[in-house]
Amino acid sequence: MAENQYTEDNIRSLDWKEHIRLRPGMYIGKLGDGAAADDGIYILVKEVMDNCIDEFVMGNGKKVDIKVKDGKVSVRDYGRGIPLGKVVEVVSKMNTGGKYDSKAFKKSVGLNGVGTKAVNALSSYFMVYAVREGELKKAEFNKGELVKEYPLEKTTEGNGTYVEFTPDETIFKKYAFKTAYLDKMMWNYCYLNRGLTIHYNGERYNSKDGLKDLLENNMDGDPLYPIIHLEDEDIEVAFTHGRTYGEDYYSFVNGQHTTQGGTHQSAFRESVAKVIRDFYNKNYEASDIRQSIVAAISVKVIEPVFESQTKTKLGSQEIEPGGKSMRAFINDFLKDKLDNYLHRHPEVAETIEKKIKQSERERKELAGIRKIARDRSKKANLHNKKLRDCRVHLTDLKDDKREATTLFITEGDSASGSITKSRDVNTQAVFSLRGKPLNCYGLTKKVVYENEEFNLIQAALDIEEEMDNLRYNKIVIATDADVDGMHIRMLLLTFFLQFFPDLVKRNHVYVLQTPLFRVRNKKKTIYCYSEEERRNAIAEIGKAAEITRFKGLGEISPDEFIHFIGEDIRLEPVLLTKDASIDSILSYFMGKNTPERQDFIIDNLRVEKDLAEETTSEVNDAGELDIAS
């Protein structure tokens, strides 16, 4: 065997755009197709928007216009505008920017001079122009390469910067922007920057009361007591207790939504429990104090340290280099502001204590059941054929690999068998259901431990004690595309929304999209996920096409399934919109029959019946070879 040669010829020097395109994960985290809120296409939008927000924070421009259509994004702010002689450099030369001057941007999240360069390099089309005092400078790029630099021109436009880009489809394959994620992003910008107005695709976004508005617009149902809203220099907090299980947090650093929390969120959780204990002078369990809490916290930190380039988790131990610790800063703030608030509002203090005692009673009532359930799940795990686990888990991985871990929850032995044989054993696990789960709508958490199916799912996820112990980043419901499969899907969603709503709110729950049809001939096979794709495939392959309609996951062989849960996996996220109420959703779909729900079911069954008849008719008319029965 020839030895590997290692010479000067093996040494390469990459320019900035080559390195970004070769290692995009270093700059924007994961790529994705837009199904998850932290997919790369949203990071591109955020990088451009962050520059607009920095201008607003510095007192320049109170409005941002953003449009997203057909995969193209345009953003216009009305700040000072990039200095005209530096327009090209700012978007195409690494370590170039205005945020190295701590006096101007001491509490910005974009301190590395990378943001818009990454957007430029990862876009098939990128255009920027800046306006200053009646003059405009414009430049166009393709994948980071300067295509055209325009001469200075006169303009009547107001000062500011305009960026337009189209993500490169060779990197972000089959991507699509989801309005729900962008809507949430725009609202968060407004909650954190009162006085800012964003116009996104014609809709106006503006917040008067900051984090208080955030909770009011995102809470499920009415709070137990009016939202407590506290502010001081460099910190804002809002919280209340809701009527659902779990703890729900929205945390931010310098305007950055830290979806994975960090030192500031941990400090808040500790401090709120400590201050409330001290106020009542009782040693309540922290879990009882925080049960059903809904809270938002925003801090401003000088030179923040994050645990990844995408800044989703704060690592800073201090509020500023050499300054007060994060824990002491937040604890001192709550000790002063929250203690005073509770003394001034005894009716709120009384409601909070009643809630704590209620959580305490429920915890003690469940203690015995939990022990029996844990013992049962441990014994079941010894001979557990329900869970075919993977080798690594969410808690084992660094930030840039977190999205990989997946648990498929599927029905029946044949479907789970196909997924098990075709999965990636390192990061993909399979949980096999036995029949239809219990409809748990309106039941207490006691059912989670008494029902074997639910108890084993909870044990597999490891979320009994702490949501941060979650073993898989994605929980994927994989059921047949028929009435029974839809019912099982709704029963599982009811379980998650009823008892673990944070899993849905934190974008961990997805539905697996599998093809409805296979269209093929001897040379080519096309899998189709819709009627439109089926028609296009028939047109492409021609008359001699063989068509199979998949009615269940068990009909798809492991050799084929590998295409649907691998690199080209299609996942539909389970999203709660701003106006959605968990209780109203569950009562509509899973409560007692109502005329509205009966009409909904009948209409959808009619659509499915019509689709089946249309498909059979078209296949017979075309004289094609086969369709699965």
Q: Residue 515: pLDDT above 70?
A: yes
SS3 for 545?
Answer: coil
- Identify the pLDDT of residue 297: 96
Q: Residue 593: pLDDT above 50?
A: yes
DSSP string, 260-297: T-BHHHHHHHHHHHHHHHHHHTS---HHHHHTTEEEEE
Q: Residue 178: pLDDT above 70?
A: yes
Q: Structure tokens of 423?
A: 């999965």
Return the DSSP state at 154.
Answer: E
Boundaries of every domain in the chain = 16-205, 211-355, 384-514+555-591
Residue range 156-165, pLDDT digits in tens:
999 999 999 9
Q: Residue 604: pLDDT above 60?
A: no
Mean pLDDT of the chain, nearest integer: 83
pLDDT-based confidence at residue 103 (cuts at 50, 70, 90): very low
> Who has greater pLDDT, 23 or 617?
23
Chain CA centroid to CA 185, Å: 11
Q: Residue 612: pLDDT above 90?
A: no
- Identify the pLDDT of residue 295: 95
What is the CATH code of the structural domain delimited by 384-514+555-591?
3.40.50.670
Distance CA(526)–CA(534), nearest Å, equals 8
Write the CA distances from 620 to 413, 530, 535, 614, integer angstroms: 33, 19, 14, 10
Residue range 256-271, pLDDT digits in tens:
888 888 899 999 999 9
Q: Structure tokens of 580?
A: 């959605």
- Identify the pLDDT of residue 121: 92
Q: Which of 93-97, 221-225, 277-281, 302-306 has the lowest mean pLDDT?
A: 93-97
Handedness of CA 313, 315, 318, 322 (dihedral sign): negative
Q: Which of 121-125, 184-188, 381-385, 622-626 has the lowest mean pLDDT?
A: 622-626
pLDDT-based confidence at residue 399 (cuts at 50, 70, 90): low
Q: Which of 88-97, 358-367, 431-440, 592-601 has the lowest mean pLDDT?
A: 592-601
What is the CATH code of the structural domain delimited by 211-355?
3.30.230.10
- Identify the pLDDT of residue 549: 87
Cα dihedral 599→604→609→614 (10° resolution): 130
Q: Which of 472-481, 506-515, 608-617 has the lowest mean pLDDT?
A: 608-617
- Identify the pLDDT of residue 3: 58
> Who has greater pLDDT, 250 or 306?
250
Distance CA(229)–CA(248), nearest Å, equals 16
- Identify the pLDDT of residue 601: 55
CATH architecture, domain defined by 16-205: 2-Layer Sandwich (3.30)
Please tell me the total number of residues recorded for the chain in this structure: 629
> Who has greater pLDDT, 605 or 58?
58
Do the domains 211-355 and 16-205 match in fold?
Answer: no
SS3 for 524?
Answer: coil
